[in-house]
Structure 1
């Protein structure tokens, strides 16, 4: 039996048991209510999932958008593929036919088969064999006066805080935590295009048949917003993919003429065909690998609303067991999937971060999260189609404000016997060497004003008896340095932090036992991230009750911590995050439609300490101040002694930078002006 069929049957059996008990059924296509008595015809498929009849007619597919079961019975006729279609890509061939889109009239929809028509693609010139036709860069000479300005003199700043100010001289501690934080320099409000690092950006856009209609129109509008906010030194390439992939625009500088050409390419996109994620990403990577010139910053924005329908066979199954990433990801280039690198090219292959955006309820969150996580990008879940422009805005707000690259955080033991035990660094690679005396975290790029905070777990010995002096003795724990490349001057800079010291009195006072709230806050952040990851794994095995119980217990534990009791804004945000994740694990159907993607986008955000769009909360979007909602906090907000990140968490959601927030605000103002405010 085909691997996909086996999994489909398993999912069918599972969902049949769980979805029927759901209190609030939603349409798996539009996510609207499918309750009876609302004046809309309802279609219940053989896998037990329910949909609006008109949504299924317009979708024109035999695959369930919730569980991917292939239906044998439909309320209309779907034409069978012609004999000249490759059997391995039969669904791709079928998807070249797009059903006539019925309007959502209040009158009953006529009960007759839809009219299928093949969408005509515009005539395009053939692609070159090599994508070495990228537009040359303009040589920019750094202005010495600008480098001497306050903007040019700003450096990465380091903050280090021990979890307690003192340990008794006679006490040895096996686990003592020091918080080390980095904050990138700011960009001035009037910083022009020449004062930030220019970017080579490739957008890889899904234009399969499921994107027909308003979905593709909204994506075009979002990409046009990106085009309008790129500068003349930035370069953009547009790649579209359906059954096959095509480069619609080579890397062009976004001058006035470049913007016009880019918008023409975007507006020419037509939806039809299957979903070939592998070919789309391969072509996007080729644009970057084969370019002759390179801007300092490189990134891929990847958007898809569906599962890959073109890379599943008996050799490369579409799904893996237990919610693991599909095996077709091994077909991706090593430059976005480092696990595919051979032993001879580990050092030669450059990695391009992929910021992936799952669009709606039908996309493949496991695959998209795996791609972004492996490449150093982020995964965002766009639940409402109208949010795509704001989601893109938050992403480019960060990409257009990169100020440092190749950031390395280095910590060294500063006293005999003090050893580094662990560095829980999320997605960032860390290494401990020299028997625990040295540690390194590879941070990479930092956006302007971006903060990264890491917990360094140490073991500390007791003070030798002959060296103990009452209330005088100190132990120096860590020596901290940070090196990085300034993206404008191309120079390597190094900054040193203050030595981390603690008191070693004979006896401890009550103040010596006080837990530092900054450290406690970051411990809560790590516990919340671990809790969501554990719950997601439990949910993938079908144990939704266990997943919800786990999150409920961890939320209670978090609220009892010192930082939460002090009214810390980040802790309140984390508690709301876990609560919303728990809610979206309410039943199997809800988890498959919106819970899995929400959890994975949260895991991506926490692991990278970088904002992502999650459900209906856009990265960098300001939440209403009069109410507490996911991503916002009200009431007493304890200001962070580190860099003030708590206040930002309260206003814009965790990890968002001012540049991200400003770009999202710009998008939202444009939406209001044009009368397209997202719901």
Structure 2
């Protein structure tokens, strides 16, 4: 009798079950169809009236061979106002304009490389009202031994600010890593209870051990791959102050395979002077994210705020700009599109640029170089190119295809109006500055620091380059801050997206130089923006961050001494 009681048969697979062993487990509740006793596939699940939602297979390559997470991600909140607005005809769309480098080309002349600026601008946040696309965000935080003390305190404060500013339709997961990686917050909606739980988990983080960036990203990948539900916008934030000690070969090996298709951008933040800037830059480049150098410890929260301000204002996704030649003699010779992939058709009659996401109010500028043929005797205007922009509206969930301004030049018989388009000149300056930065970085990596500094000093495209020149002038300075600042600046300019607020801002004027043309001093930044490419939503989030920090500082300051009050009262 005692032997029979100790080994009861499983009611599902008829295998032996030890005394007190549970039959209906969490595996069953979450849709796993293998018996926990014999591992056979079950035909019928207890209390299951319909099959569970399909999960994407996990892409984790960690040696622990993890399966899918057993706790569900929170389902997203349906936005009825968005559903009702999808068929509205009066919504704002991406505006696309063109600017020719000159207004006219003599009728009998041809031009071998004529620049046309294609300028796309996403609608502002006000145009979409109070609606925005909900966000799935995974923060991947370095908690290695070097993060002890003030560093980790500041990171906790920054992540706390992010949590405070996410809405109830947004979902957040937190992954920490040192020698290994752990998901400390599941992908949960940031309603009041979700925020409280996430803050408690973040506050409990402790530093210690080595730096395994690759494992942190693999756990983040697993979290995103295992989602049953998906919000419209997905992104990852990675912060590290060290160098990965577990990937011996290429930096690109840090990026999980599923991220290399740019399924979600990874925005990386290199903290301090000891982090591997090249690794962090590569992770961002491979996934369509930005790399920011956080030089000042106090600027971590502002940097996170700027990034999250952009992510919470994603307006357009899968943006693609296409140009097509109109006149039969016009040909596309090339496109300057920075980090965005461009394609020119074999017959050079069309080209396209894949842009990806656009934040509200965000702009993209691309130089398209075309061959302008000599005009016919009676031809007064030559139509050069037509431009279209296709994308998916992130808020409304529908696809759009809008036409931009056509580019055309006048064809006078002899006298050609003088003057250059300042829009085209400004873009040439920006492109030249980016190319100078890349050339200087290559020289510095070869150990030619004097040459690197000379490239930047001779460029004179912006005072930003003068600051960088000082950072590359010696090996010591380059290793400490120069490489990180250079890569951060290159990432910003090539993607035309704001870099970290921690690096000293350039002035908004350009001294006359190779790229300035005849216009002399040229205004770059536009207005009084503290950072190139920063959108109003990004700037506003930084203001909120600083205001909250100021209030916290004021409330924690000790009151003035009583004697001081009495003295003034007297």
Gaps of 5+ in 2: 1-63, 517-522, 556-570
Partner of residue 526 from structure 1, selected from 428, 431, 435: 431
Matched, 1:604 2:491: yes
* Structure-2 separation of matches of 1:495 and 1:529: 30
Task: Supply the distance in 1 between the matched residues of 2:119 and 2:433 (Cα, whole angstroms).
Answer: 19
1:274, 1:310 within 8 Å by CA — same for their partners in 2? no
Q: How far apart, CA to CA, are the structure 2 residues paired with 1:189 and 1:159?
A: 19
Larger Rg, first or second structure (1 or 2): 2
For residue 419 of structure 1, what is the aligned residue in structure 2? 331
Q: Helix, strand or coil: the match of 1:655?
A: coil
Over the residues paired in the alignment, what is the CA RMSD in angstroms? 2.4
Contact 1:538 1:546 in 2 (8 A): yes
CA shift digits 1:116-162 (9 cap, x unpaired): xxxxxxxxxx9973136211112223457656889x61110011010
463, 466, 480: which one aligns with 1:576: 463
Does residue 367 (structure 1) correspond to residue 279 (structure 2)? The answer is yes
Partner of 1:552: 457
Indicate which of 244, 250, 253 corresponds to 1:330.
253
Residue of structure 1 equivalent to 2:152: 216
Question: What's the CA shift for 1:605?
Answer: 0.3
The C-alpha deviation readout for 1:288-334, integer Å capped at 9, x for no partner, is 111111111000000000011233xxxx34xxxxxxxxx15325311
Match for residue 98 of structure 1?
Answer: none
Conserved? CA contact 2:132–2:312, under 8 Å: yes
CA 1:148–1:661: 2 relative to 1, 3 Å: farther
1:45-444 matches, cutoff 5 A: 129-131=67-69, 133-142=72-81, 153-188=91-126, 191-192=129-130, 195-311=131-247, 316-317=248-249, 327=250, 329-330=252-253, 332-338=255-261, 351-444=263-356
**1:477 aligned partner:** 384
CA distance in 2, matches of 1:671, 1:191: 28
Question: Whole-Å Cα distance in 1 between the matches of residues 162 and 298 of structure 2?
Answer: 15
TM-score, normalising length from structure 1? 0.68
Q: Structure 1 residues 385 and 582 mapped into 2: Cα distance closer, same or farther (>3 Å)?
A: same
Residue aligning to 1:490: 397
Deviations 1:207-230 (A, max 9, x none): 000000011000000000000000
Contact 1:335 1:375 in 2 (8 A): no
CA distance in 1, matches of 2:128, 2:404: 30
Matched residue SS, 1:656: coil
Question: How many Å separate the matches in 1 of 2:126 and 2:87?
Answer: 14
* Equivalent in 371, 391, 406 of residue 499 of structure 1: 406
Shift in Å, 1:285: 1.1
Asked if structure 1 preserves the Cα contact closer than 8 Å seen for 2:255 and 2:286, the reply is no
CA distance in 2, matches of 1:374, 1:631: 30
Distance 2:380 2:112 in 1: 20
**Are the aligned partners of 2:138 and 2:172 in contact in 1 as well (CA < 8 Å)?**
yes
Please tell me whether the aligned partners of residues 408 and 483 of structure 1 are also in contact (alpha carbons under 8 angstroms).
Answer: yes
Q: Is the 8 A contact 1:241 1:280 kept in 2?
A: yes
Give TM-score scaled by structure 2 length: 0.81
Contact 2:509 2:524 in 1 (8 A): no
- 1:427–1:516 distance in 2 versus 1, CA, 3 Å: same
**Runs of 5+ unmatched residues, structure 1:** 1-125, 318-326, 339-349, 559-574, 618-628, 639-644
Instruction: Look up the match of 1:653.
Output: 531
Matches within 5 A, 1:3-14: none
2: CA distance, partners of 1:189 / 1:140? 18
Q: Distance in 2 between matches of 1:536 and 1:646?
A: 23
Preserved CA contact (<8 Å) 2:123 2:361: yes
SS in 2 for 1:423: strand
How many pairs does the alignment contain?
A: 482
